[in-house]
Structure 1
Amino acid sequence: MKPPRRPNSRQSAPDGPGVPARRAALKLLDAVLRRGLALEQALDSAAQGLAPNDRGLAHAIAAEVLRRLPDLDALIDSATKQTLPDDAKARFALRIALVQALALGTPGHAAISTVLPLVDGGPRKLVHGVFGTLVRQGVTLPEPPTLPDAVALRWHAAWGDQMIADAEQAIALPPPLDLTLRDPAVVPDLPGKSLIAGHLRLDEKGPVAMLEGFAEGDWWVQDVAASLPARLLGKGSGTALDLCAAPGGKTLQLAAAGWQVTAVDVSESRLARLHENLERTGLEAEVVEADLLKWKPDAPADAVLLDAPCSATGIFRRHPDVLHRVRPSLIREMAELQGKLLARAADWVKPGGTLVFSTCSLEPEEGEAQLAAFLKARSDYAIVPVKPEELPHGVMPRADGRLRLLPGTLADAGGLDGFFIARLVRNT
């Protein structure tokens, strides 16, 4: 009779201090890089049961790895005799350890000791050895970070050398925190600068809910670029449809500007945030949970804002996961959906009314190409050129009146997210 097997103490022992956050970071990176999930989408599952501080640390580690992935992998490959598979746990553990030591200011002994429990056996020795070798060599990460090859090739073909340089600079720095004010005359006493009326870009970040004016509903967080589509509809007393509305920044803008707003989105969870913000700000809008490919309004509106679903590559500095999970197939899929939604939305505008189409994408297929195809199919629509005075100082529309925001836009002031925006009128 064989004696009973002794339990594996290494596997059954509880994680030591700091390890749960690194384990969650590993799960987050696996979700993004292997399963193609968005970082925010994977966070609740990966960080389940963690204290808020550990949850925040796990997110920060994973996001910094995604910002610097090509450079981290280059360092790892320089110190291994055989190239580790992209999805090897040892590679993931080394990415986490190195980014802490080289970018996040974690002492080397803490960076390595908190990732070793993530691997077992031979890989543990490998991780310890490679990390030690690189630290002794005094390696550093390049500044600015390097874009993934596939992204750099795609964006270079569309926008050229300068855009690539600007994108690398943009991802190197934490993005600013922008506030859109409910009433431009009510400015919170917070250190910052205004890029356009009704906006404040903060000099320092802190817990959003603790900032002056949050509880009173005086403002909401919204990148200044994301605020421009609704701004182009101006003040209004008529009806407005905000399509693909959640989480609701544009709905709040339209309501604050006097429009009678119907906000439509398919996501129940994201609409919950819209309801919360409406209650906090005291603004009013009709909120509809519906699939826009099946839903239609009872009557045409004076204004329609379609901030269409897209690859979201324009917000890469806030969500670096898009650099690694967005593939050409997803861009094509999103472009096809945008075309369908734009065709439907165009029928919901009154003659003489305004349609604003926007995407937070840096892909021409999700912007310029969509507009060209739409205008070719719809002779009843024409561009209403965006004017420089409607934009932050230093931001200029294209010659034909469209607005294309690239990573270098207002870089000296903290930059803007990438967007494509067009304003059109339906001819009577």
Structure 2
Amino acid sequence: MAELQGIHARRAALRLLDAVLRRGETLDIAFNGATKDVRKFEDKALARAIAAEVLRWMVDLDGLIDSATKKPLPDDAKVRIVLRMMLAQWLRLQTPPHAVVATGLDLLAGGPKRLAHGVFSTLTKREVALPLAPTLPAEVAARWGDRAASIAAGLADPPPLDLTLRDPAETEHWQVQLSGDSLMPGHLRLARGDNIEKLPGFAEGAWWVQDIAASLPARLLGDGEGRHVLDLCAAPGGKTLQLAAQGWKVTALDISKRRLELLKSNLKRTGLAASTVRADALTWEPKHQFDAILLDAPCTATGTARRHPDVLHRIGARQIEEMAELQAALLDRAKGWLKPGGIFVYATCSLEREEGEDQTSAVDLAPLPIGLENLPAGLEPTAEGWLRTDPGMLGEVGGLDGFFIARWGT
């Protein structure tokens, strides 16, 4: 008997959700294993899209499911997870209900197919809908406080594709070639969904994928003019590429062999140069001081929830505390490696104060306030001269990741 069309993608999505919700893995780490039996690029992309939409809208999907059952299904019941997938495909991916039913029920072989079919049919007959913005898990909403509503609005859709150009002077050229928009020189924004490696300019290294918020820390260091910069926790290398393109002599340090290999591959593709060092920044000792240091510190990455909605369900107080301790230790060590007259930039892609604003109090360097001239239109520095971005900002042009960035000098 021939296998149902599209079932491989749905099975992969189910494996992805199990990895995230039961084992606490990230979507990125789980993806290759979950999709190893899926051959087509389109089916791999569909598996991730289904899993991501479930994680993005899970509180609301569960509310719909519970409204159509006599008693709540266990949170980890397979039938609940499959129903979440079915509803996400119908309500978010515009999959016709008959196709949703065919592929969804096949995932419950030997299980409660009748229950799943009944719940889904009830909800389709009611013509239910999701709210304009996803409801955040209660713990997350409490953490983000008065920012929660704005952030949630920015999480409603997956983000567009942002590119950083190797040569900002070619912004208009690549804007035409790739039919993209630009929010500042050296940046392009494309609609999501393309196979990145097949886009013009990829093979020759004219650009790399990087959210516009992630590109701002390196921009704050300006032109290198041959001076030495240390990119701490550098892999997979977007900021290293930026710094090299800006004329810095880059030392790129990271502890991960796999991620450093990716960085080296990106350097080769773009024709840019940097010295790479595999080491633990907490024990490594540099041979000299640096004119600039960029510490894009390891963090909970809650600011990337637009493309990684798994962080809404994996990250809690324990992970935030652990990351904050690591960040404080890295800041304490790295600030001593800066030459007199040097510049230090600290950044995290986290929405948590413990990983951003609260880290600044222990830094005894002179503040170098961030100015409007460093930022795309629509963003403003804080009163302290820091930058705090949230996914709800720049919503009219596609939003951006959540970052905290501060700059100091000696």
Name the TM-score class by shorter chain: over 0.9
Per-residue deviation, residues 150-169 of structure 1 (Å, max 9, x unmatched): 1111101xxx1xx3232222
Q: Which residue of 2 aligns with 1:424?
A: 408
Among 68, 83, 89, the residue aligned to 1:94:
83
What letter matches 1:400 in structure 2?
Answer: E
Per-residue deviation, residues 331-366 of structure 1 (Å, max 9, x unmatched): 001001101111111121112211110000110000
Among 240, 244, 247, the residue aligned to 2:229:
240
Among 57, 61, 80, the residue aligned to 1:72:
61
Separation of aligned partners in 1, 2:321 and 2:2: 45
Q: Secondary structure at the match of 2:189?
A: strand
Moved more, 356-365 or 180-189: 180-189
Q: How does 1:334-349 map to 2 (within 5 A)?
A: 334-349=323-338
Q: Which residue of 2 aligns with 1:400?
A: 384
Separation of aligned partners in 1, 2:203 and 2:155: 31
Cα distance, 1:206 vs structure 2: 2.1
Per-residue deviation, residues 283-313 of structure 1 (Å, max 9, x unmatched): 0001112211122211111111000000101
Moved more, 85-94 or 168-177: 168-177
Separation of aligned partners in 2, 1:120 and 1:409: 44
What letter matches 1:403 in structure 2?
Answer: L
Separation of aligned partners in 2, 1:81 and 1:210: 50
Q: Which residue of 2 aligns with 1:223?
A: 211
Per-residue deviation, residues 316-345 of structure 1 (Å, max 9, x unmatched): 111111111111110001001101111111
Once superposed, which parts of structure 1, at least 4 consecutive aligned residues long, lie more than 4 Å away? none
Contact residue 159 and residue 192 of structure 2 kept, 8 A:
no
Contact residue 256 and residue 278 of structure 2 kept, 8 A:
yes
Q: Which residue of 1 aligns with 2:288?
A: 299
Separation of aligned partners in 1, 2:48 and 2:142: 28
- The gaps in structure 1 that reach 5 residues or longer are 1-12
Q: How well do the aligned residues superpose, as a CA RMSD in angstroms?
A: 1.5
Q: Secondary structure at the match of 2:399?
A: coil
Separation of aligned partners in 2, 1:105 and 1:204: 17
What letter matches 1:192 in structure 2?
Answer: G
Cα distance, 1:382 vs structure 2: 1.4
Please tell me whether residue 34 in structure 1 is matched to residue 22 in structure 2: yes
Please tell me whether residue 211 in structure 1 is matched to residue 180 in structure 2: no
- 1:53/1:328 Cα in 2 relative to 1: closer, same or farther (>3 Å)? same
Normalising by structure 1, what TM-score?
0.91
Per-residue deviation, residues 231-278 of structure 1 (Å, max 9, x unmatched): 111001211110111110100010011111010111122222211111
Among 169, 177, 180, the residue aligned to 2:161:
177
Separation of aligned partners in 1, 2:157 and 2:126: 26
Q: Which residue of 2 aligns with 1:3?
A: none
Q: What percentage of aligned pairs have identical amino acids?
A: 58
Separation of aligned partners in 2, 1:358 and 1:99: 34
Separation of aligned partners in 2, 1:282 and 1:411: 34
Q: Secondary structure at the match of 2:72?
A: coil
Q: How does 1:132-147 map to 2 (within 5 A)?
A: 132-147=121-136
Q: Aligned residues, how many?
A: 404
Separation of aligned partners in 2, 1:263 and 1:219: 19
Separation of aligned partners in 2, 1:364 and 1:164: 13
What letter matches 2:222 in structure 1?
Answer: G
Separation of aligned partners in 2, 1:118 and 1:213: 41
Cα distance, 1:92 vs structure 2: 0.6
Please tell me whether residue 128 in structure 1 is matched to residue 117 in structure 2: yes
Contact residue 338 and residue 366 of structure 1 kept, 8 A:
yes
Please tell me whether residue 43 in structure 1 is matched to residue 27 in structure 2: no
What letter matches 1:20 in structure 2?
Answer: H
Separation of aligned partners in 2, 1:204 and 1:110: 24
Q: How does 1:368-407 map to 2 (within 5 A)?
A: 368-372=357-361, 374-375=362-363, 378=364, 381-407=365-391
What letter matches 1:57 in structure 2?
Answer: L
Q: Which residue of 2 aligns with 1:6?
A: none
What letter matches 1:164 in structure 2?
Answer: A
Cα distance, 1:173 vs structure 2: 2.2
Among 31, 36, 60, the residue aligned to 2:49:
60
Contact residue 186 and residue 218 of structure 1 kept, 8 A:
no
Q: Which residue of 1 aligns with 2:398?
A: 414
Cα distance, 1:205 vs structure 2: 5.0
Separation of aligned partners in 2, 1:394 and 1:69: 31
Larger radius of gyration: 1
Please tell me whether residue 114 in structure 1 is matched to residue 98 in structure 2: no
What letter matches 1:154 in structure 2?
Answer: R
Contact residue 292 and residue 343 of structure 2 kept, 8 A:
yes
- 1:97/1:207 Cα in 2 relative to 1: closer, same or farther (>3 Å)? same
Q: Which residue of 2 aligns with 1:201?
A: 189
What letter matches 2:167 in structure 1?
Answer: D
Q: How does 1:262-301 map to 2 (within 5 A)?
A: 262-301=251-290
Cα distance, 1:14 vs structure 2: 7.9
Contact residue 238 and residue 259 of structure 1 kept, 8 A:
yes
Separation of aligned partners in 1, 2:338 and 2:310: 36
What letter matches 2:59 in structure 1?
Answer: P
What letter matches 2:366 in structure 1?
Answer: A
What letter matches 2:346 in structure 1?
Answer: F
Moved more, 416-425 or 202-211: 202-211
Contact residue 154 and residue 393 of structure 2 kept, 8 A:
no
Q: Which residue of 1 aligns with 2:151?
A: 167
Q: Secondary structure at the match of 1:389?
A: helix
- 1:204/1:104 Cα in 2 relative to 1: closer, same or farther (>3 Å)? closer
Contact residue 164 and residue 209 of structure 2 kept, 8 A:
yes
- The gaps in structure 2 that reach 5 residues or longer are none
